Amino acid sequence: MSRQPPAASRQGFFITGTDTGVGKTLVACALLHAFAARGYTAVGMKPVATGAEPGADGLVNDDVERLAAASNVAAPRREINPYCFAPPIAPHIAAQQAGARIELDRIERAFHALAARAQVVVVEGIGGFRVPLGTDTDTAQLAAWLALPVVLVVGMRLGCLNHALLASDAIASRGLKLAGWVANHIEPQMAAASENVQTLEQRLLAPLLARIEFAADPDPRAMAGALYLATLAV
């Protein structure tokens, strides 16, 4: 499933990562706090989430709750998170097990609903940039469908150079703009960490928005002030 992105730009950003567990939610929440500090209304969105527990009003996913808490605009969970599945597994498998189909049209409608509520919508993907969502869709197609500038979160660990450069190529191949990237030091003892960051600064055709040092319990609100937002025009 594919289509041409609309000509008009949209007020938001698509947050993707070099892998799962690299800090996409952390960066998305920091961006929400940063935009709010600049006087914008901002809301987070997690189109597809897996790994959730039963709650009073349905399934509860931690990433979704963190995005909602970091937003300064309230919105229904059905708009923030159109698809949520209990098993912490790949989304296309979770959807298949639930007898569901992840539809990009439904996600786009939810995005438009959020865009009507806020000036900036920060959309967090799931896993890396090319995670399958169904037999004929993946997260790369979702990003192209929404036609948003992309922020790439690079989990700084051995192998990150290859993963970051492949992700950058995949983003460009979809006709999307890489608006910036974040170096998130998820491996506290990574050898030659600074040299790896410098290599990516030389090779990624987008600005480094922040370098996040390793922390056992990082605070996205405190991190917001360190983000270089000059290139993220809204």
Q: Catalytic positions, please?
A: 46
Contact 195, 154 (CB under 8 A): no
Q: What are phi and psi of 29, to 5 degrees?
A: -65, -40
Contact 144, 175 (CB under 8 A): yes
Pairing of strands 53-55, 58-60: antiparallel
